[in-house]
């Protein structure tokens, strides 16, 4: 397999506008998974412990684009208070717009590196929140002429379907609050989910996940079913015995989980 590092999808973003592309050696067509790293929208990197998983997937015949995006920059918090953003920090929805740009760049330019047969978008934790927003709030990809619901699949690993806790912190709110408004993937779930040929969806969470994360992902799953989403295209997986995204570091667990879902 081949790794193409530091490909620029948005030059105006500097290092945050880059991605790494992991490609199978086989010259034939293959699926592509566009993957966003976790880190609470304020930390993490596209190389964060995911390289072994990306390498394993590429060797199995699935290409992976590991994407960087802009991150919040918080000032040190005062005792008993929420952290404040620095004046030059990105704001919501900058990071979601970055994700949409990366998907658009890959769909427009990615074929110069390899022929892709199908298109998947996913992420872990904060990265899954980005992937959820790209699917549910179709406006982000619409701006690039892409129909989010015409893609082949979305992989939501331990994401937050309500307003992300650091988006709440940006507003000066208690980050433990549960809010469903336009910054929440769930806000955009509607009867359109039941229309036509929709992407397949995989929702993953840990048995001992972050407080309320398990329940929120179950709510997302049940809401999609309630709205008429094709149950044959919707899968939910509880990772027994793990804490939040703990299984990500086990290449023999995480890579086959993704591969089996894509190939199913």
Return the HEC string of 177-239: CCCCCCCCHHHHCCHHHHCCCCCEEEEEEEEECCCCHHHHHHHHHHHHHHCCCCHHHEEEEEE
Q: What is the mean pLDDT of the chain?
A: 95
At the top level of CATH, which class does the domain 2-263 belong to? alpha beta
What percent of the chain has a predicted confidence (pLDDT) above 90? 89
Rg over alpha carbons for the chain, rounded to the nearest Å, is 17
pTM of the model: 0.96
pLDDT of residue 82: 67
Of 106-110, 160-164, 170-174, least confident by mean pLDDT is 170-174
pLDDT of residue 49: 57
Q: pLDDT digit string (tens) for 134-147?
A: 999 999 999 999 99
Is the pLDDT higher at 84 or at 184? 184
Whether 50 shows a pLDDT value over 70: the answer reads: no
pLDDT of residue 75: 87
Contacts of 2 (CB under 8 A, 6+ apart): 22, 23, 25, 58
Whether 76 shows a pLDDT value over 90: the answer reads: no
Q: Where are the domains of the chain?
A: 2-263
Q: pLDDT digit string (tens) for 228-240?
A: 999 999 999 999 9
**Does residue 258 contact residue 64 with C-beta atoms inside 8 Å?**
no
Whether 112 shows a pLDDT value over 60: the answer reads: yes
The single-letter DSSP state of residue 151 is S
Whether 130 shows a pLDDT value over 90: the answer reads: yes
pLDDT of residue 27: 83
């Amino acid at each position: 397999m081949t790794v193409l590092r530091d490909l620029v999808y948005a030059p105006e973003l500097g290092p945050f506008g880059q991605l790494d592309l992991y490609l199978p050696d086989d010259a034939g067509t293959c699926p592509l998974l566009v993957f966003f790293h976790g880190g609470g929208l304020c930390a993490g990197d596209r190389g964060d412990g995911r390289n072994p998983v990306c390498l394993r997937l590429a060797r199995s015949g699935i290409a992976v684009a590991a994407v960087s995006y802009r991150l919040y920059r918080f000032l040190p918090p005062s005792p008993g208070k929420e952290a404040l953003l620095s004046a030059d920090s990105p704001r919501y929805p900058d990071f979601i717009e970055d994700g949409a740009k990366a998907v658009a760049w890959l769909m427009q330019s990615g074929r110069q590196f390899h022929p892709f047969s199908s298109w998947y978008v996913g992420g872990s934790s904060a990265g899954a929140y980005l992937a959820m927003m790209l699917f549910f709030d179709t406006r982000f990809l619409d701006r690039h002429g892409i129909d989010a619901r015409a893609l082949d699949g979305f992989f939501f690993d331990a994401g937050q379907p309500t307003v992300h806790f650091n988006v709440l912190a940006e507003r000066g709110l208690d980050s433990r609050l549960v809010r469903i408004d336009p910054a929440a993937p769930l806000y955009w779930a509607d009867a359109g989910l039941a229309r036509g040929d929709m992407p397949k969806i995989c929702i993953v969470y840990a048995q001992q996940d972050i407080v309320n994360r398990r329940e929120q992902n179950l709510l997302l799953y049940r809401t999609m079913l309630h709205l008429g989403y094709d149950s044959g295209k919707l899968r939910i997986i509880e990772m027994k015995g793990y804490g939040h995204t703990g299984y990500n570091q086990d290449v023999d667990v995480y890579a086959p989980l993704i591969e089996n879902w894509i190939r199913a």
